[in-house]
Structure 1
Amino acid sequence: MTLRKQVFAALILFFVLSFQNTIFSQNKGKYPALLWQISGNGLSKPSYLYGTMHVSNKLAFHLSDSFFVALKSADIIALETNPQEWLENMKEMGMFDAEQNYGAYNFFGGGGGGDFYTSAFKFSVPDNKEIGFVLASDPDLVNGLLYRSYEMLGNHEENTYLDLFIFQSAKKLDKQVTNLEDFKQSEKMVEEASIPDPDEEEEVQKYYKGMYENRYGLQEKIEDAYRKGDLDALDSLSRLTYPSKKYEKWMLHLRNEVMVRGMDSIMKKQILFTGVGAAHLPGEKGVIELLRKKGYKVRPVNFVVSKNSIKEKEKIEK
């Protein structure tokens, strides 16, 4: 191929990709993807942001080629909290006390069925008799920590929810893992969000009535939006699940600020792959816009599931 033909082919490819990106953005809204590339603001190489879903359902595991490329390119992986530190953090906060045990495993989604001993991977547990006793007497706590898995969902589930798949991937790829939130600080925010605001009492009552009547249909719509990578729809639907403005502030907006500060600090030194709940990404006070306000360029990355991405996933799960 002559040089002129090579240049012409390159130009054609450029315009095709540009056209695809234009169609991609026009048809999908403002937040059309789960995976986002972060560049600019002094970064020599891009970092990545991925919206996870805190369930074990298979819909969270339709991972693309670009997901694995981004994951492998990173020096460090950041999650909301570090699974390797969960148990020690819970111990320090007294969450293994008998009277608090029920609340502890429910905070992490426990209370369902499932079998911890068929786990797809392991991570080190602090060698402590107190922790060992609680784990031995309450496998639901372990199940809630690791899987958020329930027997009634049967074949519709994977072995682990997506955050822990990312954690497992990082370990197998010999990547450093860190947390964006301090466990104690995060727990305090959750507690503050759960305290009713007297000024919003009427709205909260309407919320609970509406949620009871529409809980199944709403969850299906949220899952469908996530499956499509439509964060605009996910944002609108997620807002319907917040009982009050105070809840939204403490559970979402303030935590977003904490996460972005952590990301900003890490990205100045290392290439970062961040996995946080998808609801944290969109919106004026979401992680994407907060990063842009700091001077970063944040753009969506196209999503294609292929045989290669399926093989990558299976390789990590072995």
Structure 2
Amino acid sequence: MKNLFRSLFTFILFLVSAIGFAQNENSLLWKISGNGLTKPSYVFGTIHMICEPDYFFTDNFENALKNSEALVTEINFGNMEEMMLMQNAMQSDKSLKERISPKQYEKLAALLKEKLAMDIAMFDNVSESGIASLVTMKSFPCENMKMYEIELIQKAMASQKSLNGLESISEQMKIMEDHLNIDASIKMLEELGTGSDSNKQMVELYKEQNIDKLLDLLKQASYMDSKAYDEFVVNRNNNWVKKMPEMMQSKPTFFAVGAAHLGSEDGVLDLLRKVGYKVEAVK
């Protein structure tokens, strides 16, 4: 099961674009109460991939998960049909040369070799969004990595908590197909090792739990124009907040979503407040 999660999770790596709000405290964990809830639920901001030495999970995080009866992530990792759809979305029936222009192919091949010492042939039947995800994974400066969602799922399964998701993999696939094209991968490869390479800064800000400065850093992502921002972040936040109340009424729930979705006036925290919940940082 763990190996399956590790091989599939790269597909959703790009959903880590963290968008913060200047008035929020530095915290990744937030308690949700009031509005008829008999027990609190929690929302936790993840970074989908991090080098093992940088991984942390505090006692407060552990206790919040322990006191919850359900773990809800962006998609339901307990649904094997969804996992198979994710795996299939990483593949393409057509070779890469048939799908992109000769100029793009030449540029991508040169950058893969220069930046990652990788042969473009290994990407021949990988989808465009799959290539972008794999490039991101390979750009981290470490061999051993942790994925927060996988760690959380293992903890939840060990204590027999229910698993659920806020959206389907088909919904995620559509957004990624629209915005994570070959040009996005080329741009990221060009930025690797330069002042525009934001991986290191992103991890440090995440460790500081500073969702405000993550906004300033990651809203500058090359693929994050206004349309992509609306589709990756705003629309999904609104859809999730429509589903969360019923889940929280059913049982105390630990929601784990990309830190992208915590802050801003369109973020999950403010949207929950607008419909009557008390949302406060857990220090």
TM-score, L = length of structure 2: 0.70
Q: How does 1:259-270 map to 2 (within 5 A)?
A: 259-270=240-251
Q: 1:181 to 1:104 in 2, by over 3 A?
A: farther
* Cα separation, 2, equivalents of 1:208 and 1:66: 35
Does 2:103 correspond to 1:79? no
- Indicate which of 95, 103, 126 corresponds to 2:127: 103
Q: 2:47 aligns with which of 53, 78, 96?
A: 53
Counting only pairs closer than 5 Å after superposition, residues 235-314 of structure 1 correspond to structure 2 as: 235-241=215-221, 242-302=223-283
Unaligned runs of at least 5 residues, structure 1: 1-27, 113-147, 196-203, 303-318
Aligned in 2, Cα 1:214/1:266: closer, same or farther, shift over 3 Å?
Answer: same
Q: Structure 1 residues 74 and 153 mapped into 2: Cα distance closer, same or farther (>3 Å)?
A: same
SS at match of 2:245: helix
Q: What letter corresponds to residue 225 of structure 1 in structure 2?
A: L
For residues 1-318 of structure 1, the aligned pairs below 5 Å read 30-58=24-52, 61-85=55-79, 86-90=82-86, 96=91, 98-99=93-94, 101-103=125-127, 106=130, 109-110=133-134, 148=137, 153-154=142-143, 157-158=144-145, 160-194=146-180, 214-216=195-197, 218-241=198-221, 242-302=223-283
Shift of 1:56: 3.3
- 2:142 match: secondary structure: helix
Shift of 1:59: 6.1
Confirm or deny: 8 A CA contact 1:31 1:300 kept in the other structure. Answer: yes
Q: Distance in 2 between matches of 1:190 and 1:228?
A: 28
Aligned equivalents of 1:66, 1:97: Cα separation in 2? 42
**Identity fraction in percent:** 28
1:130 maps to what in 2?
none
CA deviation profile, 1:7-43 (whole Å, cap 9, x unmatched): xxxxxxxxxxxxxxxxxxxxx9523100000001110
Conserved? CA contact 2:70–2:161, under 8 Å = yes
8 Å CA contact 1:194, 1:247 repeated in 2: no
TM-superposed CA distance for 1:223, in Å, is 1.5
| Structure of higher CA gyration radius | 1
Contact 1:225/1:233 (8 A) holds in 2: yes
Shift, 1:225, TM fit = 1.1
SS at match of 2:127: helix
Q: Is the helix fraction higher in 1 or 2?
A: 1
Over aligned residues, Cα RMSD in angstroms?
A: 3.2
Separation (CA, whole Å) in 1 of partners of 2:173 and 2:85: 11
- Whether contact under 8 Å (2:128, 2:180) holds in the other structure is no
Relative to the length of structure 1, the TM-score reads: 0.62
Query: What is the deviation of 1:222?
Result: 1.7
Q: Structure 1 residues 164, 107: CA separation in 2 closer, same or farther (over 3 Å shift)? A: farther
- TM-fit CA distance, 1:49: 0.6
Which runs of 5 or more structure 2 residues have no equivalent in the other structure?
A: 1-21, 96-124
The verdict on how the C-alpha distance between 1:295 and 1:193 changes in structure 2, with shifts beyond 3 A counting, is farther
Distance 1:111 1:81, change over 3 A: same
Contact 1:192 1:250 in 2 (8 A): no
Instruction: Tell me which moved more, 183-192 or 100-109.
Output: 100-109
Separation in structure 2 between the aligned mates of residue 264 and residue 193 of structure 1, nearest angstrom: 30
2:167, 2:54 → 1: CA distance? 22
How big is the shift at 1:107? 6.0
Displacement, 1:209?
Answer: 11
Question: Is the 2:129–2:177 Cα contact (8 Å) retained in structure 1?
Answer: no
Question: Structure 1 counterpart of 2:84, which letter?
Answer: E
Q: Residues 221, 151 of structure 1: CA spacing in aligned structure 2 closer, same or farther, 3 A cutoff?
A: closer
> Quick one: distance in 1 between partners of 2:175 and 2:151?
26
**Cα distance, 1:151 vs. partner?**
9.1
AA aligned to 1:164 is: I
Change (3 A) 1:149 1:161: farther
Cα distance in 2 between the residues matched to 1:211 and 1:96: 25
